[in-house]
Amino acid sequence: MDEPELSDSAYDVLYRELTALESAHPELVRPDSPTKRVGGKVLDKFAKIKHRVPMLSLSNALSEDEFKAFDERAHRFLDATDSAVLEYYTELKFDGLSVNLTYESGELVNAATRGDGETGEDVTQNVRTIRSVPLRLKTRKPPELIEIRGEVVLPVEAFEKLNEEQAKKGLKLFANPRNAAAGAIRQLDPKIAAERPLSAFWYGMGQVQGVRFETMQEYQDRLIEWGFRVGEFRQVCEGPGPVLKFYRKIEAQRKKLPYEIDGVVVKLNRLAEIDRAGYVSRSPRGMIAFKYPPTQGTTTVEDIIVQVGRTGALTPVAIVSPVRLGGATVRRATLHNQDEIDRKDIRIGDQVLIQRAGDVIPEVVSVVLESRTGKEKKYHLPDHCPVCDSPVERKPGEAVLRCVSRNCVAQLKERMRHFVMKDALNVEGMGEKNVEALVDAGLVKHYADLFRLKQEDFLQIEGFAEKSSIKLLESLEAARNPELYRLIFGLGIRHVGERTAKILANHFGDIVSLFKVAEAEFEEIHEIGPEVAGSLHDYFADPQSLAELKEVLKFVKPAPPKRGAGAGKLAGKTFVLTGTFPTLSRSDATKLVEDHGGKVSSSVSKKTDFVVAGEEAGSKLEKAQQLGVKVLEEAELLKLLS
């Protein structure tokens, strides 16, 4: 459908073959040849194109109530009774750059930016480089004239890569994919535009002659037939209820989409109804942009503080004036490390653009240089740990500064917090505050101390009652037989996340076997790279770490990985899970695959053996089909294991 039919490498081979043929036989070169996509002259400025039909904008709904008000208004404009259910067409609101394509007799004749809505810039050369724009409509009976409108976007991955390259070249970073896409489309040299992997989604129409459509759905289905890429999530909704459901569903998956969206667009599905509803201040009254709370905003850096992590890393954090972002109030944003502060030139007092994407920690994207007054203060991380005052060091090749002390209280608290967390030993009720109180009271200096705690220890700390201390003692007791990987993960070895911990647990089967493994041997394990191997080696070769672990093992008896009947049936197989399964939750399915020796990965590639697809499976399923990866339903997965 809207995915390429060929892999990029297959495309490249054919492309090269075609170029060779065309240079041998120039008389055979067709105007819609893909080689015409790239190339063209470097322009000194863009020509102007007047739109045949103005490119309008949309009114916004910024809350569910505002959306409901839109539905009520739509009833009024259409003279519909209150009980009438209007048919809406709901799709994604792509955060890119809007472009109009003009096709005459099926041939792409030009492409223009929106400009001021009346007149745009001629970006035909650059738009031709986008693979999802057909140079000729795939139909034998093209309409005389049709203007097709949509959004050019830069996928998030390409955006990040582009910014990495910009940084390497010492060039200014793009604040977001939209700006980067706009920059690419407005490149005067089409070769540079062609290097940016732009994509586009097509949804609307301008002037149309020689073809008629009844509904948005029919129109977009036709766009697909003609060779356009259309948003993968689009739905006809009977009334506002299903629209709200769609809006919430997309919000939940928003951060997993490979491109940015800033809302959904809700349109009356019947084109005649859109016409009938009319227009107000350059927006159709039969459509609305139903937006998500913004994830970027500007605020002021009030201060910069330093946090000390469990491995001693000093992380500078900006304390900012509170801003609402992505539905939450943000007061802090990470600055990562000194290099990042220097590269972005972030100073105390600066106005900054900050970003919060899903659950990740908000970060400072860039400084609003125009707002500088000259009173802003530069910042340098201290050369001593702000908590224990020990010296800090920076290892060659690393960007982070670390506190060198083993007895730093900040590190100890973070290590303990990690050790008891849900994904590690899962000591219920032992939150951050309790860990802090126990460390501050001097009761816990090593992991093993947790298991030596007695009720009277808790009672000497302010705020602990008999009941809560009994509960915590019970939780500690219950945490003494964790699965092996949880203990390995809980030790907080640098670079060893939950996934690596599982690989190690499955590979070695018990903790003692890990004590004497050489670095090279770690590296031989599939999926363990040199960095992780080095860090594991350092940990197990360190007498103090080892002594601490041995103390823990006096109390904690990890359960070996399950190797019951059927275990290992999926050994060496890689799975990707997508959609909602009829009976298993996502984490149950993951556990099931891993318990049988399989690996669960988050993205589909040629190396994927199976994609298990449930209801509402999206792009991963499409990718699997494209790559010819075997797709299973939940029942088929269960059958594999039985």
Choose the stretch contacting ligand IVH; rule: CB under 6 A; options: 53-61, 123-131, 344-352, 483-491: 53-61
Query: Longest C-alpha distance within the chain, in Å?
Result: 94
Separation of alpha carbons 134 and 194, rounded Å: 15
CA distance 393 to 381: 11
Q: Which is nearer to ligand IVH, 147 or 151 (CB)?
A: 151
Nearer to ligand IVH, 99 or 576 (CB): 99
134 or 284, CB closer to ligand IVH?
284
Query: Which entry of 93, 413, 599, 620 is annotated as an active-site residue?
Result: 93
Q: Shortest distance, CB of residue 110 to ligand IVH, whole angstroms?
A: 18
* Least distance to ligand IVH, CB of residue 257, Å: 13
Tokens of 46: 């863009």
What type of residue is 536?
Answer: L
171 contacts 219 by C-beta, under 8 angstroms: no
Candidates 49, 58, 341, 624: give the one binding ligand IVH (CB under 6 A): 58
CB of 223 to ligand IVH, least distance (A): 12
The contact mask relative to ligand IVH for 216-245 (x = CB under 6 A, - = no) is ------------------------------
Q: CB–CB of 572/594 below 8 Å? A: no
> Quick one: tokens of 80?
């519909």
Match 């967390």 to its residue by tokens.
421
- DSSP 3-state of 7: coil
Minimum CB–partner distance for residue 89 and ligand IVH (Å): 9
**Least Å from the CB of residue 119 to ligand IVH:** 15
SS (H, E, C) 293-342: CCCEEEEEEEEEEEEECCCCEEEEEEEEEEEEECCEEEEEEECCCHHHHH
Nearer to ligand IVH, 151 or 350 (CB): 151
The 93-132 contact track toward ligand IVH, x by CB under 6 A, reads: xx---x----------------------------------
Spatial distance between the Cα atoms of 537 and 432, rounded to a whole number of angstroms: 29
* b/e 598-637 (16+ beta carbons within 10 angstroms → b): bbbeeebeeebbbbbbbeebebbbbbbebeebebbebeeb
Q: Which two tokens stand for residue 571?
A: 């050994």
Nearer to ligand IVH, 206 or 597 (CB): 206
Nearest approach, Cβ of residue 151 and ligand IVH (Å): 5
Stretch of 41-49, 90-98, 304-312, 575-583 lying at the interface with ligand IVH (CB under 6 A): 90-98
Name the β-bridge partners of 431.
none
Judged by beta carbon, residue 181 or residue 352, the one nearer ligand IVH is: 181
Number of neighbouring beta carbons within 10 Å of residue 50 = 10
Binding window for ligand IVH (CB under 6 A); candidates: 92-100, 416-424, 546-554, 601-609: 92-100
Helices and strands in the chain, H and E counts: 23, 24
Assess contact for 297 and 322: CB atoms under 8 A.
Answer: no
- Pick between residue 147 and residue 595 the one whose CB is nearest to ligand IVH: 147
Residue at shortest CB range from ligand IVH: 98
Of 51-59, 63-71, 211-219, 570-578, which part binds ligand IVH (CB under 6 A)? 51-59
Q: 363-367 and 392-393 as β-strands: parallel, antiparallel, unpaired? A: unpaired
Burial of residue 88, with CB atoms counted within 10 A of its CB: 0-12 exposed, 13-18 middle, 19 or more buried: buried
Closest separation in Å from C-beta 115 to ligand IVH: 11
Our CB check for ligand IVH shows the closer of 203 and 539 to be 203
Cα–Cα distance, 105 to 142 (Å, whole number): 6
Nearer residue to ligand IVH within complex by CB, 134 or 231: 231
Alpha-carbon distance 486 to 502, whole Å?
Answer: 8
Q: State which H helix or E strand residue 595 sits in.
A: helix 586-595
Residue 483 corresponds to which tokens in the numbers above? 């699965």
Residue with token string 């009520």: 72
Tell me, by CB under 6 A, how many residues bind ligand IVH: 15
Is position 93 annotated as part of the catalytic site? yes
What mask of x and - would describe binding to ligand IVH in positions 248 to 267, judged by CB under 6 A?
-----------------x--
Dist. CA 169–CA 166, nearest whole Å = 5
Binders of ligand IVH in range 157-216 (CB under 6 A): 203-204
Residue 499 DSSP label = H
Which amino acid would we find at residue 163? N
| CB of 97 vs ligand IVH, minimal distance in Å | 8
Instruction: Enumerate residues 481-500 that contact ligand IVH by CB under 6 A.
Output: none
Q: Are 640 and 570 spatial neighbours (Cβ–Cβ below 8 Å)?
A: yes
**314 within 8 A of 307, measured Cβ to Cβ:** yes
State in angstroms the smallest separation of the CB of 59 from ligand IVH: 8
One of 2, 91, 363, 594 touching ligand IVH (CB under 6 A): 91
57/351 with CB nearer ligand IVH: 57
Please name the helix (run of DSSP H) or strand (run of DSSP E) that holds residue 67, with its range, or none.
helix 64-77
CA pair distance 586, 593, nearest whole angstrom: 11
Binding pattern for the stretch 280-319 against ligand IVH, x by CB under 6 A and - elsewhere: ----x--x-x------------------------------
Q: With 0-12 CB in 10 A as exposed, 13-18 as middle and 19+ as buried, what is 74?
A: buried
- Give the shortest CB-284-to-ligand IVH separation in angstroms: 5
The CB-of-51 to ligand IVH minimum distance in angstroms stands at: 12
Q: Does 56 bind ligand IVH (CB under 6 A)?
A: yes
- Kindly report the number of other CB atoms within 10 A of residue 475's CB atom: 16
Q: Which of residues 13-42 bind ligand IVH (CB under 6 A)?
A: none
Give φ, ψ of 332 to 5 degrees.
Answer: -135, 150
Cα separation, 148 vs 269, in Å, equals: 17
Stretch of 55-63, 174-182, 466-474, 513-521 lying at the interface with ligand IVH (CB under 6 A):
55-63
CA distance 502 to 487: 10
CB of 365 to ligand IVH, least distance (A): 22
Decide whether 286 or 297 has the Cβ nearer to ligand IVH.
286
Cβ proximity to ligand IVH, 223 vs 388, nearer residue: 223
Please choose, out of 86-94, 296-304, 437-445, 525-533, the segment that lies near ligand IVH by the rule CB under 6 A.
86-94
Residues that bind ligand IVH (CB under 6 A): 56-58, 91-94, 98, 151, 203-204, 265, 284, 287, 289
Residues serving a catalytic function are: 93
